[in-house]
Structure 1
Amino acid sequence: MEDKMTRPAEGFETWLFDLDNTLYPASADLFAQIDLRMKAYIGRLLGLPPEEAFRLQKHYYHTYGTSLRGLMDEHAIDPADFLAFVHDIDHTVLAADPVLGGLLARLPGRKIVFTNGSTRHALAVLDRLGITDHFEAIHDIAASGFIPKPQPACYDDLIARYGLDPATTIMVEDSHKNLQPAAALGMTTLLVRNTLHWAAVEDGGAPMAYCHHVTDDLRIWLADWLAHQAPHPEVCLD
């Protein structure tokens, strides 16, 4: 599928990357493990059968932005306990990605992971991919005061904490609804589209106007962006 571009991809001072299904392909199916753990946690907490726990999990996601936020507001759970349980998964399904690492190394400016997950989970993912050293910081759900994307307050907090200029910031995400507040603040947005993760097919899977760039492969998009910058050696994606 051809990439969509509605805004010139010019130089950026800061790159904000979502983690799950963004820095690694959705085909790794890592999030499916997290989904199962969330369903198990809710079922155990509320004494629900799996089908009802799954329904409630998705209801909280759509209503509050994350299942965690819904559980905090509706059931006063300990977020640390929830995050430790749902991120106790097998990260070895991820393999090192030296191509992505090489591309990240050549991107100018700061690089920050902006995730609704935990720092522990983010570090496990980045370490498996071999790209940890390319990031200045991980801004996780705890750093956001457990206010998840796409609630505007966590974007404001991120900007203030790192002194970001939205006009020179690009945000990369697999969930289009998380890009809407970023675009409203003046950031450039890149949607990494996939059809495997259930959240990616909302609204029929159609990219919204606030998704300035859309790609099916982050590595290809980054290589193409670099190819249009200052002269540099060719990128090999094989």
Structure 2
Amino acid sequence: MLKNKGMLDPNAIETWVFDLDNTLYPAGSNIFARVSVRITEYVQNRFSLEHEPARALQKDMFRRYGTTLNGLMAEHGIDGEEYLHFVHDIDVADIEPDHALEAAISRLPGRKIIYTNGSVPHARRIMGQIGVDHHFEDVFDIVAADYVPKPNPGPYDTLVSRYGFDPARSVMVEDMARNLEPAAALGMTTVWLSGTLDWAKEGAEQDYVHHVADDLTAWLNGLSGSRPA
């Protein structure tokens, strides 16, 4: 798939908004899969279920509410902070620094912000392991979004308001295509980072996806004015 709605000049962009999971690192690294295992364990423990019924409930909540957390909070009143602490308690020691990505991000002009359906501590741990933490001004997480997940439009408005940036001079990069719809509606330029996960492709053919990349570092390096020396 190739989609390119006009050339993107990085020097015309003031703010770069990146998703975290399966975006700053590839889906094939299975980091998010570790979180998914912990989510299943949480559901098992919370509802005294065997693995398969717990997994089925997890997937049902995800499909209907955007995140398992949102569904469990809405239907079962679980504590969001307790949930996030449990599911993000994963071993990240084997995550290697990504020097090429770090260099590519360092060449981008303007501000950089992470917008994630995860938590700030989880994001900071991953970003620290990859070696890009120092390039990002802040992390806008699910708590800052009042536990309302992407692609609900409300938190996107909050994001823009909190950081005071012009959507027309910003870019959002995401692995889940449908999460780009509210960003495009605000006037942001959108980039879908394609991968191997079928459930992340929903909406990929829609007009709210402006650019498609299959490798974040290569795409960043290919931007005019942002190539390595």
TMscore range, shorter length: over 0.9
Aligned length: 227
Deviation at 1:64, TM superposition (A): 1.3
Q: Residue 217 of structure 1 corresponds to which residue in structure 2?
A: 215
Q: Give a deviation string over 1:37-72, Cα, whole Å, max 9, x none.
A: 111111111122211211211211121111111111
Matching of residue 133 in structure 1 with residue 126 in structure 2: no
Gaps of 5+ in 1: none
Q: Secondary structure, in 3 states, of the residue corresponding to 2:64?
A: helix
Matches of 1:153 and 1:7 in 2, distance apart?
28
Q: Secondary structure, in 3 states, of the residue corresponding to 2:16?
A: strand
- C-alpha contact (below 8 Å) 1:3/1:216 kept by paired residues: no
Matches of 2:40 and 2:47 in 1, distance apart?
11
**For residues 178-189 of structure 1, what are the structure 2 equivalents within 5 Å?**
178-189=179-190
Q: Give a deviation string over 1:163-218, Cα, whole Å, max 9, x none.
A: 121101100000001001111111100011101x3532446xx5322110001100
Q: Give a deviation string over 1:94-136, Cα, whole Å, max 9, x none.
A: 2101111111111011000000000010001000001110000
Matches of 1:114 and 1:50 in 2, distance apart?
31
Q: What is the aligned-residue RMSD (CA, Å)?
A: 1.5
Q: Residue 96 of structure 2 corresponds to which residue in structure 1?
A: 95
The TM-score normalised by the length of structure 1 is 0.91
Matches of 1:183 and 1:157 in 2, distance apart?
15
Q: Residue 114 of structure 1 corresponds to which residue in structure 2?
A: 115
Q: Residue 205 of structure 2 corresponds to which residue in structure 1?
A: 207
- C-alpha contact (below 8 Å) 2:177/2:201 kept by paired residues: no
Percent of residue pairs identical: 46
Letter in 2 for 1:217: D
Q: Residue 50 of structure 1 corresponds to which residue in structure 2?
A: 51
Matches of 2:92 and 2:65 in 1, distance apart?
27
Letter in 2 for 1:8: M
Q: Residue 37 of structure 1 corresponds to which residue in structure 2?
A: 38
The TM-score normalised by the length of structure 2 is 0.94
Q: Secondary structure, in 3 states, of the residue corresponding to 1:154?
A: helix
- C-alpha contact (below 8 Å) 1:30/1:93 kept by paired residues: no
Q: Give a deviation string over 1:140-167, Cα, whole Å, max 9, x none.
A: 1111111111100100110110012110
Q: Secondary structure, in 3 states, of the residue corresponding to 1:148?
A: coil
Gaps of 5+ in 2: none
Matches of 1:198 and 1:20 in 2, distance apart?
15
Q: Residue 75 of structure 1 corresponds to which residue in structure 2?
A: 76
Q: Residue 5 of structure 1 corresponds to which residue in structure 2?
A: 4
Runs of 4+ in 1 over 3 A off after TM superposition: none
Q: Give a deviation string over 1:53-93, Cα, whole Å, max 9, x none.
A: 11211211121111111111111111111001100111123
Q: Secondary structure, in 3 states, of the residue corresponding to 2:93?
A: helix
Matches of 1:72 and 1:171 in 2, distance apart?
27
Matches of 2:72 and 2:30 in 1, distance apart?
24
Q: Residue 228 of structure 2 corresponds to which residue in structure 1?
A: 235
Letter in 2 for 1:235: P
- C-alpha contact (below 8 Å) 1:68/1:79 kept by paired residues: yes
Matching of residue 172 in structure 1 with residue 165 in structure 2: no
**For residues 130-169 of structure 1, what are the structure 2 equivalents within 5 Å?**
130-169=131-170
